[in-house]
Structure 1
Amino acid sequence: MNTYNPINTLILFFIIVGVLFVLFRPIKGWFWIIKNNFKSNEKVVIEDILKQLYHFENSGNKVDTKTLVQVLKFNNNQIIEVIKKMTINNLIYFDSDVLKLTETGRDYAVRIVRVHRLWERYLADKTGFKREEWHDRAELMEHKLNHEEVEKLSAHLGNPKFDPHGDPIPTKTGKMAKVNGVELPLLPVNTIGRITHIEDEPEIIYKQILAENIHIGSLIRVIENNTTRIVFQSEGEEFKLAPIVAANLTVAPFEKETVIEDNIARLSSLKVEETAKIIGISKESRGESRRRLLDLGFVKGADIKIDLMNPLGEPNAYLIKGTSIALRKDQAAKILIKKD
């Protein structure tokens, strides 16, 4: 026959209270952590949907739910549920099968784009991260910064108008500067212009452009343009791109006839027996990296030649102002020279 034991009951009571405390205590309880994490994930999904719709609409493309599910990296059911909530909250609406932004949704999307592009500019100007990393790192930060932090970041960067790819950065009121130029495949042969924008999506095409070492701000001359390839010269080198890749480059053609000097090249092309003068540093070199090159003496007018060739390919040592300085090929490619 069981007898009532008040000590066991008391122990059981404290165990239950302890478990409930761990689960439901304010802020740090498991229940609230899981709930807040779900809200955070939901916020990310909402903002990524808004941003995707913004880019689709700006490029003149229509998108339905099926397409959106394919381009977003979330659970399909979660995307569908979030779309329902966004419709109820007047962020998006359906026009037949096409998803569109409401005015409120578009304003929200522009704020997300502003954070993303400011953070890419920060990564380019203030850190040593490679440009292949900027987009993904900015994707993470665009969901974390609050309004006050965004404005501090913008002020810290000098309220820039463009991100490092040449995309306009929306102001806090949503206004954007105009990108000058047209897609490279639209330019006729012998056109001379400057690269003003490099589109970083889709990623597979952007990586091809990175592999070609094409720089924003570079002067180019179109020497071939047909349905199979686009060929252009820039900074002493010749580039050949498929039209689908070339379409990610925006070029502002010069209205007046311009001559590109043949002996202007990248330092990376200098040969052992050649000498040259530095004429500048590419806009592709930014922030600390640019300041370091200038501090090392890579300034306009300085004489330069190869001091030592690395048998393994890189880095090579360059003699400048009596000092031998080693540079990787990608660093040397951002320094423009005029060969003697």
Structure 2
Amino acid sequence: MNNPLVALSIAGLLAGVTALLFWPERGLVIRWRRARQMNERVLAEDALKHIHKQEMKGQPATLESVAGTLHISRDQAAELLTRAEENDLVASEAGTLHLTPDGRNAALHIIRAHRLWERYLADQTGYDEAQWHGQADRIEHSLQPAQADALAASLGHPTHDPHGDPIPDASGQFVAHGGQPLTDIALDQPAQIVHIEDEPETIYAQLVAQGLYPGMTVRLIETSSKRIRFWANGDEHVLAPILATNISVVPLPQTVAVAIEDDSETLADLKLGERGEVKSILPLCRGAERRRFMDLGILPGTVIAAEMISAGGDPTAYRIREALIALRSEQARMIQITRRPEVAA
């Protein structure tokens, strides 16, 4: 004979499981479907970004290139692109993929969201730059156009992200950086870095480790098949050519060559008792640290003196607007100065 209590318990358990799986809005099946749809949308949007990038480089986008970039099978890529064609986002001609006007608008929105978020992370947060790209990759798919507009306004409508990539405006227009690879400029030609490619991450990490950033002035002093040697901010840098091609520069007039050396001194170069006048805070100093420097009165024209040094050699105490402030050497190197005569005792 069936036990009514057991039957009731089983029925209650089945009802609970059914509710857990199929409860409106919160059930596991609903969540799984949403996650799958979200993943499919992310892949579709990443495919549009890839095709746009290839078009900008003048290189063909193909089924194989989409599959390789998105790390999916050829069959998955084919299914993805078929849906994109059905939605009038992509067109195919002789095996080469092209964006339709609607596809280009969709790609530009994703690119805009990504680069605006990187700009936000660089200017307003303390995130390390190695984290910017990954964070922006996640946010770009959920940032709506109105949210992107509000973010752009709050940042002052920036035209380029921290790497120098152009940020499209709300209408999809953008200003290209106009640079050429560092390896292509003439020896002894002063130039300014306008873009550092942030992919692949391993190469970008090596360039960041060299302390390079958009806005830095450089001068090429040696180039060969094995190495590229150049001067930047008072330091000599040596890169393999494959790394140097990821740096884009615009040539500067020869008269700027002298200014390169003049701009090379930083607060860290002062010895005890020496003074310097702040010329600028390097663009490498961003976010909360830059705001802290400005709150301390470290602004163009401020005269700073090196007064004390710790027993270990770092940090150094500087006299800044009548206050004694300790700065580590890596912080002091972000403050460009012009030396001032020492005050007689």
TM normalised by structure 2 equals: 0.86
Matched with 1:180 is 178
**Unaligned residue ranges in structure 1 (runs of 5+):** none
Q: What is the aligned counterpart of 1:45 among 31, 34, 43? A: 43
Question: What is residue 70 of structure 2 aligned with on the other side?
Answer: 72
Distance 1:268 1:256, change over 3 A: closer
Structure 2 counterpart of 1:223: 221
What's the secondary structure of 2:324's corresponding residue? strand
Per-residue deviation at 1:75? 6.7
Query: CA 1:176–1:7 in structure 2 vs 1: closer, same or farther (change >3 Å)?
Result: same
CA deviations on 1:141-200 (whole Å, 9 max, x unpaired) are: 001112221111111112111111111110111000131332211110121122222221
Give the match for residue 121 of structure 1: 119
**Counterpart in 2 of 1:109?**
107
The change in CA–CA distance for 1:319 and 1:7 in structure 2 (over 3 A counts) is: closer
Q: Distance in 2 between matches of 1:227 and 1:271?
A: 38
Alignment partner of 1:154 out of 125, 147, 152: 152
Q: How does 1:222-241 map to 2 (within 5 A)?
A: 222-241=220-239
State the partner residue of 1:267: 266
Deviations 1:257-295 (A, max 9, x none): 334243432436515355433211112223432221122
SS at 1:93's partner residue? strand
Q: Which amino acid in structure 2 is aligned with residue 94 of structure 1?
A: S
Q: Aligned pair in 2 of structure 1 residues 229, 36: CA closer, same or farther (>3 Å)?
A: same
- TM-aligned CA distance change 1:136 to 1:329, over 3 Å: farther
Shift, 1:207, TM fit: 0.9
Residue 135 of structure 1 aligns to a residue whose secondary structure is: helix
1:89-100 counterparts in 2 under 5 A?
89-100=87-98
Mapped partners of 1:179, 1:196: distance in 2:
6
CA 1:6–1:168 in 2, change beyond 3 Å: closer, same or farther? Answer: same
> Partner amino acid for 2:34?
N
Q: In 2, are the aligned partners of 1:305 and 1:319 still within 8 Å (CA)? A: yes
Aligned to 1:303: 303
- C-alpha contact (below 8 Å) 2:50/2:61 kept by paired residues: no
Partner in structure 1 of residue 139 of structure 2: 141
1:226-257 Cα deviation digits (max 9, x unpaired): 33322222221111222222222222222463
Structure 2 counterpart SS, 1:260: helix
- Any conservation in 1 of the 2:63–2:74 contact (CA below 8 Å)? no
Amino acid corresponding to residue 266 of structure 2 in structure 1: L
Give the residue type in structure 1 aligned to 2:320.
I
Cα gap change, 1:138/1:329 in structure 2, threshold over 3 Å: closer, same or farther? Answer: farther
Distance across 2 between alignment mates of 1:201 and 1:17: 50
Deviation at 1:129, TM superposition (A): 0.9
Paired residues for 1:12-91 under 5 Å: 15-73=13-71, 78-91=76-89
Task: For residue 45 of structure 1, give the secondary structure of its aligned residue in structure 2.
Answer: helix
TM-score (norm 1): 0.87
> Would the aligned equivalents of 1:266 and 1:332 in 2 still touch at CA under 8 Å?
no
Distance in 2 between residues matched to 1:69 and 1:313, nearest whole Å: 53
User: Which deviates further from its counterpart, 168-177 or 62-71?
Assistant: 62-71
Instruction: State the superposition RMSD in angstroms.
Output: 2.7
Conserved 8 A contact 2:159-2:167: yes
Give, in whole Å, the separation in 2 of the partners of 1:272 and 1:76: 62
How far does residue 14 in structure 1 lie from its aligned partner after superposition?
Answer: 5.2
- Provide the rounded CA distance (Å) in 1 between the counterparts of 2:60 and 2:308: 56
For residues 107-146 of structure 1, the C-alpha deviation after alignment (integer angstroms, 9 at most, x for no partner) is 2111100000000111111111111111111111001112
Moved more, 287-296 or 66-75: 66-75
Is the contact made by 2:270 and 2:276 (CA closer than 8 Å) also made in structure 1?
no
| Corresponding residue number in structure 2 for 1:326 | 326
Deviates more, 1:181-190 or 1:269-278: 269-278
Q: Is the 8 A contact 1:232 1:238 kept in 2?
A: yes
Shift in Å at residue 312 of structure 1? Answer: 5.7
Query: Residues of 1 paired with 2:212 and 2:267: CA distance?
Result: 13
